[in-house]
A = this chain, B = another copy of it.
Amino acid sequence: MNAWYEQIPGYLYGSSEIARSAVSRQDLEKLKVSAGFTDEDARFLRLAGKVLEGQTEKIVRHWRNGIIANIPNLARHSRTPEGEAIPKYLDASNLRFERWILDTCLRPYDQDWIDYQQEIALRHTRAKKNKTDGVRSTSYVPFRDVIAFVAVMNETIKPYLSAKGNSAEEIDKMHRAWCKSMQMQLALWIGPYSKARQAPEEW
List chain B residues, Cβ under 8 A from A152: 34-36
Which A residues contact B (CB, under 8 angstroms)?
30-31, 33-37, 67, 71, 73-74, 143-145, 147-152, 154-155, 176, 179-180, 182-184, 186-188, 190-191, 193-196, 199-200, 202-203
Contact across chains for A195 and B200 when beta carbons are under 8 A apart: yes
Do the beta carbons of B34 and A149 come within 8 Å of each other? yes
* A148 interface neighbour in B154, B184, B193, Cβ under 8 Å: B184
Q: Is the pair B193, A194 in contact by a Cβ cutoff of 8 Å?
A: yes
With A148-B187, A183-B148 given, is the CB distance from A33 to B196 under 8 Å?
no
Q: Give chain B nearest CB distance to A59 CB in angstroms.
A: 15
Q: How far is the CA of A104 from the CA of B36 in the complex (A)?
A: 22
Contacts of A143 in B (CB 8 A): 187, 190, 194
With a CB–CB cut-off of 8 A, which chain B residues contact A35?
148-149, 151-152
Cα A196 to Cα B193 in complex, Å, equals 11
* Closest residue of B by beta carbon distance from A73: B30
CB distance from A72 to the nearest CB of B (A): 9
Closest to A150 in B: B183
Of the candidates A34, A37, A196, A203, the one having the most CB atoms from chain B within 10 angstroms of its own CB is A34
Which of B145, B147, B149, B183 makes the CB contact (< 8 A) with A151?
A: B183
**Minimum C-beta distance from A133 to chain B (A):** 23
